[in-house]
Amino acid sequence: MTTSFSERIARLNDILCTVNVLRWDARVMMPAGGAASRGHQIATLQGLARDMLVDPAMADAAEEARAAAENDIARSAAEAVLRARDWHLKISETLLRRQAETSVIAGQAWARARAEGDFSTFQPYLEDVVTLSRQMADALGHDGHPYDPMVQIYEPGETAASLSALFDKLRAGIKPLLERALSRPAPRSDFLYRDYPIEAQKALCAELAPLLGLDMERSRLDTAVHPFEISFTRQDVRITSRWNPNYLPMSIFGTMHETGHALYEQGIDPALTRSAHATDLIGLYAVGGCSFGMHESQSRLFENHVGRSPAFWSNHFGTLRDHFPEQLADVSEEDFVAAINRVEPGLIRVEADELTYDLHIMLRMRIEMALMDGSLAVDDVPQAWNAAMRDDLGIDVPNDRLGCLQDIHWSSGYIGSFPTYTVGNITAAQLMARFDTIHPDLRRAADAGDLKPLREVLAETVWRHGRSKHRHELLAAIGTDADDCEPYIAYLRGKFAST
């Protein structure tokens, strides 16, 4: 009996979701000693997935499915598999295995180096990551910068040149706003650094995620060194946060950020996970979203446009104070909102205010581009990082832990992914600006504490489509140009020009 296209994809999807389970466990539960064997396990499963994808029978099944497709979704599903197959045929099984093994081992090495604040112990692992990334870029091919193929893994259609041009415009818009904001007195923020017991933070965040709309019957909140969201299916979407007993915003906004990601995953149309036969799970569009940038737009939208808004805290500051009555006894709602929106250049990207955040991203992109084209050696990364922090933000980096070791991305092999955070910021502002025009009721409802209308519009315009449409398509459908950063600059100007 011939195996159907949907059956083949169902099996492939099961393996890939199992890989995600192992990755979640590696970051949340696994003892450090399990890194090498876990790397081998993930590499084996990814090898099996690749074998299934590049099997000529898969191509035949996909071609048949495309020819018989009765709608655009079925046709695009078959075409996506054919594109993925072509991509994987360019990459050797050996390279994929080495990348999978290295990502787990390097992740454990990064965690140790970060704890010790010593880049030199992570350096050889990062050298391996960069070497493998260059090999990947060479295998995929490029006409411009070797960074291009890596960027396109995460943000299809973008290149080093297109992102550099976009970011240059954004930088020119941010710089005068930042200078103006820093010329004004900073609001009080001492209370953010008081003693906030970790268990109380966990209890608060366990309430915040459902307040934003996360279905906890299909999710859970755990602890990780670096917060992340990961999906196995739309029915099982995990988020993590981290807890600083002396800095409350880390857990609050880390949780809100990852909740935005998870809402996207939970909001994917169930129809995209099934073929015309209800029992044949396809799963092709069940996880992942259309790009990292679109995914980041959802996390940054809920973290900043919702989570840092006065309206949100006018409805929920009482909940916050209930969890920390002593710590916030002398703090008003207005004090808190001003503090979490203050402009204060700092060392840590995930704690950065909205005006300086993208400068952190631009710094990382420049380093990644230099690593990929060989103009920067891995052992010079700390010096390059520290110099950029001085130039861009006027900050001296005291140690590697607070500098180039703060992010997990490079250890995971995600070179090329950092720019998508700024793409996400731009996209979130584009969405909200457009919604203000075509759905003005959304903001009124949010001001009254009701986020359901916003979630419903996001589900209709973004979430339900999963991977079936490109970011540019989704934005064009609501009358927005994906390459226009002016809505984001206007949002920042409106928020920070007079505060």
In tens, the pLDDT along 178-190 reads: 999 999 999 999 9
| 277 marked as binding residue | no
Closest CA to 290 of 272, 310, 271: 272
| 409 marked as binding residue | no
Q: What is the mean pLDDT of the chain?
A: 92
pLDDT class of 10 with cuts at 50, 70, 90: confident
The pLDDT of residue 296 is 96
Q: Decide if 312 contacts 318 (C-beta within 8 A).
A: no
The pLDDT of residue 1 is 41
Who has greater pLDDT, 469 or 430? 430
Report the range of poorest mean pLDDT among 212-221, 247-256, 267-276, 403-412. Answer: 267-276
Inform me whether the pLDDT recorded for 264 exceeds 50. Answer: yes
The pLDDT of residue 283 is 45
The pLDDT of residue 499 is 53
In tens, the pLDDT along 137-155 reads: 999 999 889 999 999 999 9
In tens, the pLDDT along 265-308 reads: 999 888 776 543 333 334 454 456 889 999 999 999 999 999 99
The phi, psi pair for 220, rounded to 5°, reads -155, 155
Inform me whether the pLDDT recorded for 397 exceeds 80. Answer: yes
pLDDT class of 93 with cuts at 50, 70, 90: confident
Based on DSSP, count helices (H) and strands (E) in the chain, helices before strands: 20, 3
CATH for 160-497 (1.10.1370.30, 3.40.50.1260, 1.20.1630.10, 3.40.50.620)? 1.10.1370.30
**What mean pLDDT is predicted for residues 349-360?**
95
Inform me whether the pLDDT recorded for 340 exceeds 70. Answer: yes
Residue 465: C-alpha distances to residues 90, 209, 291, 472, 478 (Å): 28, 23, 12, 13, 14
Whether 258 sits among the annotated catalytic residues: the reply is yes
Q: How far apart are CA 65 and CA 34, in angstroms?
A: 41
Residue 173: C-alpha distances to residues 220, 341, 393, 424, 496 (Å): 39, 19, 15, 17, 12
**What mean pLDDT is predicted for residues 345-362?**
95
List the catalytic residue out of 155, 158, 258, 265.
Answer: 258
User: What are the structural domain ranges in the chain?
Assistant: 5-141, 160-497
User: Model-level pTM?
Assistant: 0.92
Who has greater pLDDT, 74 or 147? 147
Inform me whether the pLDDT recorded for 377 exceeds 70. Answer: yes
| 465 marked as binding residue | no
Inform me whether the pLDDT recorded for 323 exceeds 90. Answer: yes
The pLDDT of residue 194 is 98
